[in-house]
Chains A and B, each alone.
Chain A
Amino acid sequence: MADDASSSSGCTGNLVDNSINQDELIMKQQREIEKEISESIPLVGDLEVLSSLEKEYTEDPIYLLKVKDLSSKYKYIRRTRPDGNCFFRAFSYAYLEHLLTDKAEYDKFYEIAKNSKDTLVALGFPQFTVEDFYETFIEVVQRVGEQAGSSSAGLDAVRDELHDKFNKQGYSDYIVVYLRLVTSGQLQMQHNFYQNFIEGSRTVTEFCRQEVEPMYKESDHIHIIALSNALNVGVRVKYMDRGEGSQVIAHDFPEGARPLVHLLYRPGHYDILYA
């Protein structure tokens, strides 16, 4: 009843309010539908043969040609949930998976990962929460390290464990948050360079607070460049869209680096590719 009293203060006001509520309701419904679709897809899925992509495009000759081109270089795909975090999730999953079989790369990465927390704190990120995210992140990294380069039986067990962790929202999102912070840190440390990539009047710090650090914000080139540079990890992204030609164009980050992570980009979304 109290609500009635406050909302009936003016007739016109009420009508305006109602129309806003209608818009909001539609938006809310839209978001709920998106959420439902998104939640029906696992955070990180199982390995699928690349030809599974063809099923999505049975009546789309342009995409079919491109899938064909893609299958000349890649055999498998692993899908990720399209929730705006897919780049970070796909990247970290694929990279940690690679580290299992590359001890030298693991040792290099572990040093970078270990120092990343202090860099972030020095940049002014709140120590208390950065530590919280870092601990979960490094715990997963260390589990990988314990098995890196070991026998195949041990590898399979830790692969399952990794898959399990990446599909537990708590762990999985913590890893995403930490990589978002690392990306933000890199952008802010080299803000003079990255400022050129930012359209409009936003500063790098503003951009980080609005587009990098919050969850569910989609990643663009600038995110990939920053993260691949911060961690010194080569990433190859295959861009598959409705553009001309039958080739799927590849882009390497940082330029010229040996790619250890291969991702498929389709407008708005990243999945993992395997040769």
Chain B
Amino acid sequence: MAEISEKYNTKCPGVKRLMREAMELAEATEEYCARPLDDNLFEWHFTIQGPKGTDFEDGVYHGRILLPKEYPMHPPHIILLTPNGRFEVNKKICLSISGHHPETWQPSWSIRTALLALIAFMPTPAEGTIGSLDYSPAERKVLAKKSRTWSCSECGEIINLLSSTAAKPITEEEQSVLNQIAFKGEDEQAAKPPVEEPAPEIEPQVIESSDNSTTFLDQLTEILVALLVGAIGIFIYRRWNIHQTTASDDM
């Protein structure tokens, strides 16, 4: 933390906020723990205990939290690193809000809100959303057992990161919020209100998806052009051949 206070302007409310959150979350709980990287206050690593009574209950899952420079005005992004059978690993997933009247991210939510929501969201059906995986219960249970020996190159054996202390209980207010938070891969997030990135990562992502469509069309055109050229080639060749044969016949 000492290093962080030297590197960032601690007067800046966003930095102050993250340092406060780091302090609030410094003590590991049995449900979750999270801390910023030593050299980057805007990237955190977290560990969560799989939710009880689900296929994930034996699992411990680790991942990264990326905080936009506008945090807490804009939401954090989460990347799971431990294979879990519910979310793709190494893929940015975003908080999105499900439910009848969609809400958007609120600055009064925090990293704790995001983690609690992630835990609550794990057992929900994948329903083919981007970034989601629909592994069978058996596969998820195998992955859950395996996860206990998973280790992070930054944080070490993740099983050691959680503690036996119970986390601060979830308030009624929090619960009503948690029920409405969903997580999606980023592709579907493009239609959501502006999400700014710490690094301009969203641009390539969206351009890429448009590229996909153009490459698909390009490929089609290419194939068609190739077929046409081939057909013309064969046609000319045959005409020329006929001409040749008739010519030689004439001889």
Q: For window 61-76 of chain B, which residues contact chain A by CB distance below 8 Å?
A: 70, 72-73
Our pick among A7, A22, A129, A216 for the contact of B110 (Cβ within 8 Å) is: A129
Minimum CB–CB distance from A123 to chain B (whole Å) comes to 9
A27 at the interface (CB under 8 A from B): yes
A residues adjacent to B (C-beta < 8 A): 3-4, 7-8, 14, 17-18, 20-25, 27-28, 31, 35, 124-126, 128-130, 132-133, 136, 169-171, 173-174, 177, 181, 202, 206, 209-210, 213-216
Q: Which of B16-24, B41-49, B78-86, B149-157 contacts A (4 or more CB under 8 A)?
A: B16-24
A27 and B195 alpha carbons, distance in the complex (Å)? 13
- Interface pairs A-B: 5 shortest CB-CB: A18-B213, A124-B173, A24-B190, A170-B13, A129-B108
27 contacts between A and B (CB under 8 A): A4-B212, A18-B212, A18-B213, A20-B191, A21-B209, A24-B190, A25-B190, A28-B190, A35-B194, A125-B108, A126-B173, A128-B20, A128-B112, A129-B17, A129-B108, A129-B109, A169-B70, A173-B73, A177-B73, A209-B103, A210-B102, A213-B106, A213-B107, A213-B108, A214-B106, A215-B73, A215-B107
Contact A25 B210 (CB under 8 A): yes
Known contacts: A24-B191, A132-B16. The answer to whether A202 contacts B110 by CB under 8 A is: no
Q: Which residues of A contact B173 (CB under 8 A)?
A: 124-126
Contact A126 B103 (CB under 8 A): no
B172 at the interface (CB under 8 A from A): yes
Interface size for chain B: under 10, 10 to 19, 20 to 34, or 35 or more residues?
Answer: 35 or more
Residues of B contacting A: mostly: helix
B169 at the interface (CB under 8 A from A): no
Contact B107 A177 (CB under 8 A): yes
Our pick among A22, A130, A181, A210 for the contact of B103 (Cβ within 8 Å) is: A210
Q: Which residues of B contact A128 (CB under 8 A)?
A: 20, 24, 110, 112
Q: Which residues of B contact A136 (CB under 8 A)?
A: 13, 16
Q: Which residues of A contact B70 (CB under 8 A)?
A: 169
B residues adjacent to A (C-beta < 8 A): 12-14, 16-17, 20, 24, 70, 72-73, 101-110, 112-113, 171-174, 190-191, 193-194, 206, 208-210, 212-213, 216
Name which residue of chain B comes closest to A215, CB basis: B73
A213 and B173 alpha carbons, distance in the complex (Å)? 14
A4 and B194 alpha carbons, distance in the complex (Å)? 26
Our pick among B20, B73, B106, B213 for the contact of A132 (Cβ within 8 Å) is: B20
Q: Which residues of B contact A169 (CB under 8 A)?
A: 70
A170 and B69 alpha carbons, distance in the complex (Å)? 10
Our pick among A27, A132, A177, A214 for the contact of B191 (Cβ within 8 Å) is: A27
Minimum CB–CB distance from B115 to chain A (whole Å) comes to 14
Residue among A14, A129, A136, A173 having the largest count of chain B Cβ atoms under 10 Å: A129
Q: Which residues of A contact B193 (CB under 8 A)?
A: 216
Q: Which residues of A contact B110 (CB under 8 A)?
A: 126, 128-129
Q: Which residues of A contact B194 (CB under 8 A)?
A: 31, 35, 216
Contacts A17-B213, A125-B173 given; 6 further ones with Cβ under 8 A?
A: A24-B206, A128-B24, A174-B13, A177-B73, A177-B108, A214-B103
